[in-house]
Amino acid sequence: MINHHPDANMLVEYASGSLPWALSISVSAHMQLCSQCRAKHQQLSMLGGACLDDAPSENVEEDSFARLMGRIESSKNTAQKSAVKVPQSKDLQTKQLPKVVQKLLPDNLQWRRVSSALKMARLTTGQEQYEVAFHKISKGGKVVEHDHKGLEVTLVLEGSFSDDGGVYQRGDFIVREPGQTHRPTATLDQDCLCLSVCEAPVAVTGWLGKVINPFLSIRPA
């Protein structure tokens, strides 16, 4: 059961198209797993449509609709020509991932070991504000305690993890802001795979943080 969702403000921004692209990816992926948020999004879209109906009309050129449909058809053809098979990886059950995440997978996903319990793989999303990446915690593994220098959104894709705030399972959407310290720990039964969207590097707490924090960075792509 999914217990953690994007808040109302984030859903409104997503529905209106004003949410930053990287965050929109995480919200879209969550909605593909969450019927509750899909329903809320539909309601917001209907409300937005009603507001547009009530707005003053604007004059447009007579061929505007035809040109719009032409661009849509062109986009469809381009998408069909460029469609590729979803790459398979021993580290991912790709068929279980939300479709929006599948589309981000490169032919060769590069994993990097962060610690004995954690590894990560960055994804390219075509924006420069947030780092978007997979983070995988090995079963029973603990991530070092850390704070956040900026917004961090985590969507659980496989398995589950816990921290002082509770237990998070597949589909849960967790938002952390500066000042919210935690230490994620994967459950003992299986690895935990998450999609993370980070605005800034984390800040490791304690004496270890004084040593390694100056070297931590994010790489939006």
pLDDT at 12 over 50: yes
Q: What is the mean pLDDT of residues 113-122?
A: 96
Q: Return the minimum-mean-pLDDT range out of 36-45, 74-83, 97-106, 133-142.
A: 74-83
Phi-psi region of 206 (alpha: psi -120 to 50; beta: other; left: phi over 0): left
- Hey, which residues does 147 pair with through a beta bridge? 203
Phi-psi region of 17 (alpha: psi -120 to 50; beta: other; left: phi over 0): left
Contact (CB, 8 A) for 164 and 171: no
Q: What is the mean pLDDT of residues 157-171?
A: 96
Which domains are seen in the chain, by residue range?
A: 94-215 (2.60.120.10)
pLDDT band at residue 84 under the 50/70/90 scheme: very low
Q: How far is CA 117 from CA 79, 176, 219, in A?
A: 38, 21, 21
* Mean pLDDT, the chain, whole residue set: 88
User: Hey, what's the torsion of the CAs at 16, 18, 22, 26, to 10 degrees?
Assistant: -30
Query: Which has the closest alpha carbon to 6: 166, 160, 171, 132?
Result: 171
The whole-number pLDDT of residue 107 equals 87
The pLDDT tens digits for 98-111 are: 999 999 999 889 99
The whole-number pLDDT of residue 75 equals 54
Answer yes or no: pTM beyond 0.75: yes
The whole-number pLDDT of residue 69 equals 74
The whole-number pLDDT of residue 61 equals 75
Contact (CB, 8 A) for 197 and 23: yes
pLDDT at 88 over 70: no
Cα(173)–Cα(128) distance, rounded to whole angstroms? 22
Contact (CB, 8 A) for 132 and 180: no
Q: Is the dihedral of CA 94, 25, 172, 198 positive or negative?
A: positive
% the chain with pLDDT above 90: 76
